[in-house]
Amino acid sequence: MRNQSNVWTIVRKEFARFFGDRSLLFTTVIMPGLLIYIVYLQMGENIGKSHQDDNEDTTTVYVDNLPESLRGDFDSIPFQLVTEGFNAVALIGDSLADKERSLIYVNFPPHFDSLITAYDPMGGEAAPNVKIYHNSNSDNSELAYQTVKLYLEDWENSRSNMFDINAESPDAEETFDMADKDDSLGEILGQLFPMLLMMLLFSGCMAVAPTAIAGEKERGTIATLLVTPMRRSELAIGKILSLSTFAMLSGLSSFLGIILSLPRMLKGDGVDIDIAIPYTTGDYLLILCVLISTVLVLVSCISILSALAKDVKSAGTMVLPLMLVVMFVGFTPMLGGDAPEALTAYLVPFYNSVQSMASIFSFDLKPAAVGITVAANIAYTAIAVFVLTRMFNSEKVMFGK
């Protein structure tokens, strides 16, 4: 009976600790479900928007020398069909190179029906070749390409192997996918790097910020600093700048490792992309400005939370919601959808940094957005310095009195 009483006492004690700690309850019960709901809601909205855009942006299939045997079937495809009145050279040279255009160009050999009727697979001659030009960076163009290609393959298999699709020429290399390799690489890096950088920067900040404030409170050394002839604002600025430097060095070291290992990693995954990363010195400087301003905000937020905590362990618990928010924001480029056009969106902390980095890495630089991001982050850091100064002046916050 006594053992049961002790067990119940422990259970009640742990229940009281768990449900009495609002931050622990929020981070372990409410925050995960809320974030999952927001992520899936955002994904659903992006998928719905994608379908809506697909319906509004009609894909056009341009066809040269459409054979009579396929005319009725091509008329039934779920795309706008154009068989005359267009410039094929302009389509291949300009229109298809624009990933915003929704089109493909199909080129049948002249007298296609006669060629496949006369074709003898055992005769040693090359089979008639149907060329389909598309842009894999355009979702609509790629969908139309796969649809038409699958249809032609099914039509051919129902008869015999009478023709080829996008066969390579033995005399000269011909490109049928008009996607820009820089765009393909930029799309990958624009989704991957912001998430990685936000996680690396946050890890660097977590490694130094809580111990520098909450750790000193726990050890009692913060009192020595507060009685020195130094303005509390100077103490706050010194803490934030020094911690930001350490965190920045940690993040840059990890980022450099990613950059150096990226070519081998992509080649190892079989990605058929030219690995030379064509960023300019100006791009790297802009990325550096965004990173520095982001670290300042991260360190400022973690410092404020650490100042509220009694020790390093409780500081880690209090910072957990911020970590979840930063991770979620870092994943937003992977959820689909275009970068926000409204410049006011770049006033939102963390989100502005992620979108600015995504625009730079994806070769879709928005200078005004990057400028607003850096300015806003510096302004938020100045506000954080003011708040941290007031906290250093408060004996209740610093010493629990």
Residues 6+ apart with CB under 8 A from 383: none
Q: Which domain holds residue 148?
A: 58-179
Q: Do 23 and 71 share a domain, yes or no?
A: no
b/e burial code for range 246-255 (CB count within 10 A of at least 16 → b)? bbbebbbebb
Q: Do 131 and 68 share a domain, yes or no?
A: yes
The DSSP element (H or E) to which 334 belongs, if any, is: none
Q: Do 116 and 236 share a domain, yes or no?
A: no
Decide if 165 contacts 129 (C-beta within 8 A).
yes
Residue at 6: amino acid letter: N
Decide if 375 contacts 343 (C-beta within 8 A).
no
Domain total in the chain: 3
Q: Do 232 and 172 share a domain, yes or no?
A: no
Q: Do 291 and 204 share a domain, yes or no?
A: yes
In angstroms, rounded to a whole number, what is the distance separating the alpha carbons of residues 4 and 174?
80
Taking only the tens place, the pLDDT of each residue in 175-195 is 665 555 556 666 777 788 888
Q: Do 160 and 194 share a domain, yes or no?
A: no
Compute CA distances 325 → 189, 321, 350, 385, whole Å. 21, 6, 9, 21
Annotate 181-242 with three-state secondary structure: HHHHHHHHHHHHHHHHHHHHHHHHHHHHHHHHHHHHHHHCCHHHHHCCCCCHHHHHHHHHHH
Last residue of a domain, one of 148, 179, 210: 179
Helix axes 281-308, 367-392, angle to 10 degrees: 20
Q: Do 240 and 335 share a domain, yes or no?
A: yes
In angstroms, rounded to a whole number, what is the distance separating the alpha carbons of residues 106 and 46?
30
How would you write the pLDDT of the chain (401 residues) with one tens digit per residue? 445 564 566 456 556 755 676 765 565 566 556 655 665 455 455 545 544 444 445 788 899 888 888 887 788 888 888 888 888 778 777 777 776 678 888 888 888 888 887 877 776 677 788 888 888 777 788 888 888 888 888 777 766 656 667 666 655 566 665 555 556 666 777 788 888 888 888 887 887 778 777 887 777 777 777 777 778 788 788 888 887 887 777 767 766 766 666 555 555 444 444 445 567 788 888 988 898 899 889 988 998 888 888 888 888 888 888 888 898 888 888 776 566 778 888 999 999 999 999 888 888 888 899 999 999 999 999 999 888 888 888 777 676 65
Last residue of a domain, one of 126, 144, 179: 179
Q: Do 223 and 294 share a domain, yes or no?
A: yes
Q: Do 304 and 393 share a domain, yes or no?
A: yes
Q: Would the pTM of this model clear 0.75, i.e. be above it?
A: no
Q: Do 255 and 386 share a domain, yes or no?
A: yes
